[in-house]
Structure 1
Amino acid sequence: MSDFAIGESDFLLDGEPFRILSGALHYFRVHPDLWADRIDKARRMGLNTIETYVPWNAHSPRRGVFDTTGMLDLGRFLDEVAAAGLHAIVRPGPYICAEWDNGGLPAWLFQEPGVGVRRYEKQFLAAVEEYLGQVLAVVRPRQVDQGGPVLLVQVENEYGAFGNDQEYLEAVAAMIRETGITVPLVTVDQPVPEMLTAGGLDGVLRTGSFGSRSVERLRTLREHQPTGPLMCMEFWDGWFDHWGGPHHTTGVEEAARELDALLAQGASVNIYMFHGGTNFGLTSGADDKGVFRPTVTSYDYDAPLDEAGRPTAKYEAFREVLSRYSSTPVDASPPRAEAPAPRFTVALGEPVRLLADPACWGAETCHEVMPSLDDLQTRLALFRTEITVDGPALLSVGEVRDRVLVFLDGAPVGVLERERRDRALMLPHGRGRLELVVEDQGRVNYGPRIGEPKGLLGDLRLDAEPLTGWTAWAVDLDAVPNLWTSAPPASPAGVGPTAWRTSFPVGEPVDHFLRTDAWGKGIAWVNGFCLGRYWHRGPQHTLYVPGPVLRPGDNELVVLELETMVDPTATFAAGLSLGPVED
């Protein structure tokens, strides 16, 4: 057991000054059988600590549930950090941002009438207390003063950029202490005076988040905190990507120079990210600062380890910088070499069309007024009604969240997209079967639009008349890989959302890279494991397939194409293709 404390100017480990050299590694973005590999590479780069957020919504998809299995086994992750001889920082939120769906807040929370968002409101606080009790029960026995790796626990996350409710922050800090957390607590905010004031707490160490002008930012932090160690809790060494944008990168020399400047000031650091990993499943979030921009599946972040865990030039540059500030020698031996990824193609077959027989995709319900996706508890739904208007007709909706494919008598008519602020579409005629496939592209993870409902909101009209009498099918995406056990015989390829499957052989289960640039827009699974979303817009044109997902022999690939599969062929490439970089 060790004692860890905040001193006059340093962190103190067993009474001696200790500089935290940490890297962000989110257990929920990395296959658990690869945690040890990524942690070992962090140690070899010269880090002595691993930091992770905790995503409330992933652990608690429904109230009363707290899942710690598989990729959500926080206890196993912290134990692997300890086994590697490293320390840990845990940031449980309840809000985490992290470019993660809804900033980590569960969607069910916002279906409570009158619930507050990150403020002192009894319904919200009751849910937060329940959550913190569950997650910190995992952390409590793994604190450094109980023989574990955890040095610090964070209160909320960049709260000064959101609100100014000190009573709320104090309540969250008190809840953390009441669970038995005895290690020091911290807050983090961008080093802007008003944010440091609004997001900080007396008696809790303030830390900063920034990626440039390190000396200036640390000076601002010191002005708001005269004593205590200086720490950048998020040293941004890269950035995340949006669909349709460039792949963001930062210069290796520039990033290394900033890291050196930060450490030269005597500060501690958490490199965000050391390894970004992947937004597997439908976990990526979105921005909406006037324009809705969903985040891609890859969370490569231009980090020292790329999305597949392979060292980059930034890894070597950071290792050289860290070696000059580490209190222990940095392991100079290179990380384990990765096996090459196989390259091959395989035909997709056995298409199953959503519009042909929606009953096998999910439960049917009837509604006079169209429900939201939240009402149906789904991320994708088909809505159908009959229309009887003479001549061409204008379909209009109050707000699209986030994308709608429109069909009339089975033929595609057009697309309504939130990103373009679409609200209306002209139908060629007003009689027949109107079908709308509504997709949630990821919940906003930053700012005032956190927690907003998904689906078609407001008045839905055909010309001036309300559209009513809907039949809805909430698509069970978890069940898509099993469609062929319940669906009718595979149908010929046609328009509209279609699931395809194939098998492919694997010798040694090493990482694979599935190319998607020849497809349209959709989701892919390998052996039932959801790799995430793809979209021809890019920038990323590969989906990462972790080696532990595969097995020797036959493996199954399932693809749900929402638009059109021009060439039903799956191509596996030699490595990542994350798209063109920004100028």
Structure 2
Amino acid sequence: MDFATNQTLDFETGAHNFERLLETAKRVGLYVIVRPGPYVNAEANAGGFPLWLTTGAYGTLRNDDARYTAAWKPYFSKFSDITSKHLITNGGNAIVYQIENEYGEQWTDVDTKTPNAAAGRYMRSLEDTARENGIDVPLIHNDPNLNTKSWSQDFAPNATGNVDVAGLDSYPSCWSCNLDECTGTNGQYVPYQVINYFDHFQEVSPTQPSFFPEFQGGSYNPWGGPEGGCPADIGADFANL
């Protein structure tokens, strides 16, 4: 079966009805940053992708492969359409809309700003789909670290796939109680190391808000992690950082 063309979209039953979350947030006076994916990470199985998408039948994923596009577009179109009713521009409480997550793939070489054409087309397709389905609030992105410098209009004016407000994802301590999980991305683990975010934002997005869509609030304990987790890494010293 070609699941991409035979999808059943369920935004009504049980926890699938995300409108209830938006309505509850509005009732208690909260604004909402909407982050629909299609890839969400969030330490979820397959980053939130349905497992049928991971069989290899839909290409390498998170690019402009036509097979992958056919898989995400019905979901993303419907999600955007439903969300449009809850935007602040329509009297709701959703203030911005995130395109993809931790997708710092704009460049094959960030120093020379050599574009990754497939990644740019993928981002633009997501953005166009959101706009076509009623999303008229700013589109945002969550850059996975300080090195990728992707999707900011300030950093590369008029580049394909840029968003309205570029954001940064950062975990100044290890995001995992198993430190080995972090060294491949963060390098040597240095507890409570201070990072100079100001210079990064001055370089990448000086005319935009200095924006963290995702910033560390703790560390999770993975399967096989230390017994009791890592309270010393997320205690008073970390809160002070």
* TM-score normalized with structure 1 length: 0.32
**Mapping of 1:62-141 within 5 angstroms?**
63-111=7-55, 113-141=57-85
Q: 1:198 to 1:207 in 2, by over 3 A?
A: closer
- Which runs of 5 or more structure 2 residues have no equivalent in the other structure? 108-115, 154-160, 173-192
Aligned residue for 1:168, secondary structure, equals helix
Whole-Å separation in 2 of the counterparts to 1:181 and 1:114: 27
Which residue number in structure 1 is paired with residue 93 of structure 2? 149
**Mapping of 1:367-382 within 5 angstroms?**
none
Question: Displacement of 1:203 after TM fit?
Answer: 4.4
Q: 1:199 to 1:225 in 2, by over 3 A?
A: closer
Which residue number in structure 2 is paired with residue 545 of structure 1? none
| Match among 157, 161, 166 for residue 206 of structure 1 | 166
| Match among 136, 149, 152 for residue 196 of structure 1 | 149
Which residue number in structure 2 is paired with residue 230 of structure 1? 210
CA RMSD of aligned residues (A): 2.5
Q: Is the 8 A contact 1:120 1:167 kept in 2?
A: yes
Question: Displacement of 1:79 after TM fit?
Answer: 0.3
Whole-Å separation in 2 of the counterparts to 1:188 and 1:218: 17
**Mapping of 1:265-304 within 5 angstroms?**
none
| Match among 121, 126, 130 for residue 167 of structure 1 | 121
Q: Is the 8 A contact 1:196 1:206 kept in 2?
A: no
Question: Displacement of 1:225 after TM fit?
Answer: 1.2
Question: Displacement of 1:68 after TM fit?
Answer: 3.1
Which residue number in structure 2 is paired with residue 254 of structure 1? 237
Question: Displacement of 1:113 after TM fit?
Answer: 3.0
- CA offsets 1:27-61 (integer angstroms, 9 cap, x no match): xxxxxxxxxxxxxxxxxxxxxxxxxxxxxxxxx9x
Which residue number in structure 2 is paired with residue 452 of structure 1? none
Q: 1:86 to 1:114 in 2, by over 3 A?
A: closer
- Residue identity (%): 27
Question: Displacement of 1:119 after TM fit?
Answer: 0.4
Question: Number of paired residues?
Answer: 197
**Mapping of 1:409-448 within 5 angstroms?**
none
- CA offsets 1:365-423 (integer angstroms, 9 cap, x no match): xxxxxxxxxxxxxxxxxxxxxxxxxxxxxxxxxxxxxxxxxxxxxxxxxxxxxxxxxxx
**Mapping of 1:516-527 within 5 angstroms?**
none
More helix per residue: 1 or 2? 2
Q: 1:220 to 1:253 in 2, by over 3 A?
A: same
Aligned residue for 1:232, secondary structure, equals coil
* TM-score normalized with structure 2 length: 0.73
Aligned residue for 1:177, secondary structure, equals helix
Whole-Å separation in 1 of the counterparts to 2:219 and 2:105: 18
Q: Is the 8 A contact 2:33 2:95 kept in 1?
A: yes
Which residue number in structure 1 is paired with residue 178 of structure 2? none
**Mapping of 1:382-401 within 5 angstroms?**
none
- CA offsets 1:117-140 (integer angstroms, 9 cap, x no match): 100111111221101112122211
Q: Is the 8 A contact 1:109 1:115 kept in 2?
A: no
Q: Is the 8 A contact 1:191 1:221 kept in 2?
A: no
Aligned residue for 2:149, secondary structure, equals helix
Question: Displacement of 1:160 after TM fit?
Answer: 1.1
**Residue type matched to 1:84 in 2?**
V
Aligned residue for 2:141, secondary structure, equals strand
Which residue number in structure 1 is paired with residue 156 of structure 2? none
Whole-Å separation in 1 of the counterparts to 2:58 and 2:11: 27
Q: Is the 8 A contact 2:34 2:96 kept in 1?
A: yes
Aligned residue for 1:63, secondary structure, equals coil
Question: Displacement of 1:162 after TM fit?
Answer: 9.6
- CA offsets 1:269-292 (integer angstroms, 9 cap, x no match): xxxxxxxxxxxxxxxxxxxxxxxx
- CA offsets 1:456-485 (integer angstroms, 9 cap, x no match): xxxxxxxxxxxxxxxxxxxxxxxxxxxxxx
Aligned residue for 2:47, secondary structure, equals helix
* Rg larger for: 1
Question: Displacement of 1:75 after TM fit?
Answer: 0.3
